[in-house]
Amino acid sequence: MNYYAIVLAAGKGTRMKSRDPERSKVSYPILGKALVNYVIDAILPVGMKEIVVVVGFGGEVTKKLVEDRAKVIWQKDLVGTGNAVLQAKELLKDKEGSTLVICGDTPLVTTETIEHIFKVHKKIKNHLTIVTSVLEKPDGYGRIIRDSKSNYVLAIKEDKDCSEDEKDIREVNAGLYIFDNKFLFEYINQLTADNSQREYYLTDLVGIFKRNGKKVGAYVVENAVEVFGINDRVQLSYAGKVIRKRINHRLMMSGVSMEDPDSTYISPDVEIGKDTVILPNTTIFGKCKIGEANTIGPNTFLDTVEIGDDNVIQSSWISDSKIGSYNEIGPFTKMRAGTIVANHCRVGNFVELKNTELNDGVKAAHLTYLGDCQIGEKTNVGCGTITANYDGFNKMHTEIGKNVFLGSGTILVAPLKVEDSSFTAAGSTITKDVKEDSLVIARARQVEIEHGYTTFMNKAKAKKEASKK
C-alpha cells in the first residue's frame, strides 16, 4: 500500500496577534522548531511516497521551512480546507493508495498514532477514515454527527453551522483524515460553498462518500492531546509544555540527568549522551550533539553545537560551534560563528570567541575578545586581550602559535602572525608579526612629572574661577 500526505498550512492564524502581516501560523516555533515541522516529523517515519504542503497566507515563510522535506503547492484563495486539498489534485490524482490529510498546526500528533490509524483504515477497508476525539469543551471544533441507531458517522458539522443541540455533542473532528486517494480526487470537485462561511469544507466529503456507497469510518484517538490544534499563543504555550515534557522524559530515560526538568528547554533534534547533567534554566536548541558526562548549566543557552565528553559549561551562550572534551567553559562565555575549542581548554568569564579555533590546552580566563583567529597549543591569553579584526570594511585573520604568552591588555591588530613560544608584555599593541621565541614590548614609555598632580589641579581650579567672572 502506498501512502501519501497532504499537510494543510495555508491559514492566517489571526488569533496569534502578530505584528508581522506575513507570518504564517504554522511557522510559530516550539523549542526552536516550527509547528509544521513537528507534523512532518511525525509523518516521515510512516513511509510516505509523497508529502505535499499546501501554503497560502505567509506562504513564502512556510515554504522556506518545508521545501527541503516536502513538495509545496499554493492555495491562492483561502476559501476552505476542501479547496486547499483540491490544489494537490494535479500532483496526486493518478496515485493508487491512501492519503493522509492533516493540519499543519497539530504538533502533538505522534508517529505511532498515525501508523495505527493507517492500520485500522486498511484492516476495516474504509474508503474514508475520520479521526475524532472526545473533549470536555468542544467549542470551536466540528461535531461528529452519528446515526442514533447504527452509530455510524453521518456527517461532520462545522461549529459555526451547528444547531444548539449539535453544539452539545462532545465528539469532535480532529482534522485528520485518511482517504482512498482515487476517490478523494474523484469526488472533491463536488464540494460546494453552501454554508455560513461560504467556504469549501473538506468535511462535506463525508456525505459525498456515503452517497456514493463508500465506506466511511471513524477512529477515536485515545489521547485527545495528540490532535490539539494551535490557534492562539495560550494554546502554543500549552503545546510547548507537552512537547518539553516528552523530550525531557525520553532523555532522562536514556541516561541524562536533569535537576529541574520544568526549567529545562531542549529541542527534539538534540542528542545527549549518558551521564550528562543538565542544570536548571538551560536551553538547548537546534541540532546539538552532546557527548557523555558533561555538566551543562545553570543558565546556559546552546544552539547547534557539537560537544564532546567531560566538559563543564556554566552560564554561557554558545551557537554554531564545536567543543571537544575535558574543557572548562564559563561562566559568562560567548561563542559563535564557527568557533572550535579542542581539548583541555579553559575559556572563562566574559570571554567572547567568534570564528576562532583554540587548540589543545589554550587558556583564555577572562575579559577577552578573540575574533577570526587561530591559537596554538598551550597558549595563555592574558586578561583583557583583544584581536582587532575589523577595520570598518573587512574582517582579518590573526594566527597565534603554540606556547605563546599574551600579556594582559594585549591588542593584536590583524592581519597578524605571532609565532611559537613568544611573549607579549602587558599593555602592548602589536601591529607587526612576532617571530618565534621573542619578547615584544609595544607601549609608550612611562613619563613621571614631579608634583604634576598638584600643578594640574591648581591650573584647573584657576581656569574654573576665571570662567565665573
Strands (E), 10-95: 29-30, 33-34, 50-55, 71-74
Spatial CA neighbour of 126 closest among 201, 47, 210: 210
d(CA 156, CA 8): 18
CA nearest 12: which of 26, 33, 31, 1? 26
Do the Cβ atoms of 227 and 245 come closer than 8 Å? Answer: no
Which residue is catalytic, options 127, 366, 397, 451? Answer: 366
Distance CA(412)–CA(418), nearest Å, equals 9
**Distance, CA of 82 to CA of 240 (rounded, Å):** 29
Distance from C-alpha of 167 to C-alpha of 158, rounded to nearest angstrom: 10
278-285 long-range Cβ contacts below 8 angstroms, 24+ apart: 285/31, 285/32
**Burial group, residue 79, by CB count within 10 angstroms (0-12, 13-18, 19+):** middle
Residue 366 bears catalytic tag: yes
- Peptide bond just before 45 cis, omega within 30 deg: no
The residue ranges of DSSP E strands in 20-68, in sequence order, are 29-30, 33-34, 50-55
* Single-letter amino acid, residue 252: M
Number of residues that this document lists for the chain = 469
As a whole number of angstroms, the distance between CA 173 and CA 16 comes to: 22
- Phi and psi dihedrals of 461, rounded to 5? -65, -40
> How far is CA 48 from its chain centroid?
24
**Which residue is associated with the grid cell 502554543?**
236
**So which residues are the catalytic ones?**
366
